[in-house]
Amino acid sequence: MAARRAVSSLLSRCLYASPKTLSPSLLPKGERAHGAAAGILQRFSTAAAVEDPVAPPVQVNYTKLLIDGKFVDSASGKTFPTLDPRTGEVIAHVAEGDAEDINRAVHAARKAFDEGPWPKMTAYERSRILLRFADLIDKHNDELAALETWDNGKPYEQAAKIEVPMLSRLMRYYAGWADKIHGLIVPADGPHHVQVLHEPIGVAGQIIPWNFPLLMFAWKVGPALACGNTIVLKSAEQTPLTALYAAKLLHEAGLPEGVLNVVSGFGPTAGAALASHMDVDKIAFTGSTETGKIIQELAARSNLKPVTLELGGKSPFIIMDDANIDHAVELAHFALFFNQGQCCCAGSRTFVHENVYDEFVEKSKARALKRVVGDPFKNGVEQGPQIDDEQFSKVLRYIRAGVDSGATLVTGGERAGSKGFYIQPTVFSDVKDNMVIAQEEIFGPVQSILKFKDLNEVIQRANASKYGLAAGVFTNNLNTANTLMRALRVGTVWINCFDVFDAAIPFGGYKMSGVGREKGVDSLKNYLQVKAVVTPLRNSAWL
């Protein structure tokens, strides 16, 4: 997080310009604001963003650190506020963990691994605990979704109908793997019996981001527990609430004390202490590439613990001239604007063939203008606020940079509403590869549309990025699809779809988008050690 703040600070110095506000008198009739919102731009469906926020249908019950099965205050007694992105107001004060709290949590996790029942428990019993946890998730679906929306700002319908059900699905998936992790017997060139054992790695340190707190909890915790490890998890300081709630449910399902410890806190203190801790056997991190570099360095300088990283992206979304343009517009819109644009794999470089470019731009503008921005607890809202003021300001600086570099601002470009961290859905056309908005991860509702002429050109340009997380391809030509799926240097290629996240599908990136894979069978490898055991054979009947 320290690196992310440093980058944001640099952008602030280089790119900042105060957003302009259009006078209501310059707006078409019917698009002018009314009443208390008379000075607010109303080109989008943003009425919900300027009204009093809906009271969340949930209470905050867990704000302390979870260490050794108990909720405890931080060693320093410090707390920090977690904010409602709709208003910037305080939801609750949460215990602020630091290095001493990480030490306490690691000690508990180490004791639970070395002396406790979890790694010695049968795999079937571990599976049953994870299945009971999934049942509890289903039972508390609405509370988890409401907390996620309140703390993060994502639409409640998205959290309740997609993300929390996926949380329980992931837990059932990993419960299914728990008793199917096994080794091998391999033949040797001589009279030896050779076993290959897959053993739990030990104490896993895990650092999750703020954009999908519950899903990232599942991506990290699920495979680690299925393999028999213990965990110290640091939640994002912007969104600490749901990890604590989910961890409480996991203990209710029968998880032994000390197996999962949750520390809320900041990156430079708690995060750095976890990554550099000498008694942590493995670290997993999801977040920015800049912070990922710091995590990897801290791990190397301490005990050379293995690291898995799921980092940033600047994913190309390629639309060929044979595509159904209406469908392509809708899919490209979803690929970028989903979750307020706060997705590492967002289709943030929309490459469109020159033959259909102008039509695509006009229809993308129309779709963006129809996007419903407002209070995420309201039915029908597609886009809530950005996570906090830092991210809100960063996105606006990137928009200003796009204008200053010569890209055409087709629509949007301003804040939406008068309070909270809402930003209008923004579309740029005439974007060039060397522009900042085409190179750097904006992490916001800003679509950049680029023009290309032929297949070879778009392959070269799509791959000319330091990132390699994902890509989208929209075409009706099977040969074109096959060419692109093999040529694009990314971890995931979605063809005529986007953001399909099944529990069994591995996810991760090439290049500076990360190391290792989340989800699927590949994720289990992150949490297992491989041990060879060789025993001489005497008078063996067979080799």
**Beta-ladder partners of 471:** 493
Quote the CA–CA distance of 429 and 412 in Å, as a whole number: 12
CA distance to 99, 128, 317, 449, 522, per residue, from 367 (Å): 48, 46, 17, 14, 38
How many CB atoms lie under 10 A from the CB of residue 179? 15
Quote the CA–CA distance of 359 and 356 in Å, as a whole number: 6
β 192-200/528-536 pair status: antiparallel
* Cα dihedral 15/361/374/264 (nearest 10): -50
The total number of residues shown for the chain amounts to 543
In the annotation, is 115 catalytic? Answer: no
> Quick one: which of 116, 130, 121 has its CA closest to 226?
130
Cβ contacts of 15 within 8 Å, gap of 6 or more = 397, 398, 400, 401, 404, 436
Identify the active-site residue in 96, 290, 310, 414: 310
- The helix (run of H) or strand (run of E) holding residue 414 is none
Quote the CA–CA distance of 361 and 366 in Å, as a whole number: 9
Quote the CA–CA distance of 449 and 429 in Å, as a whole number: 5
Question: Which residues are tagged catalytic?
Answer: 310
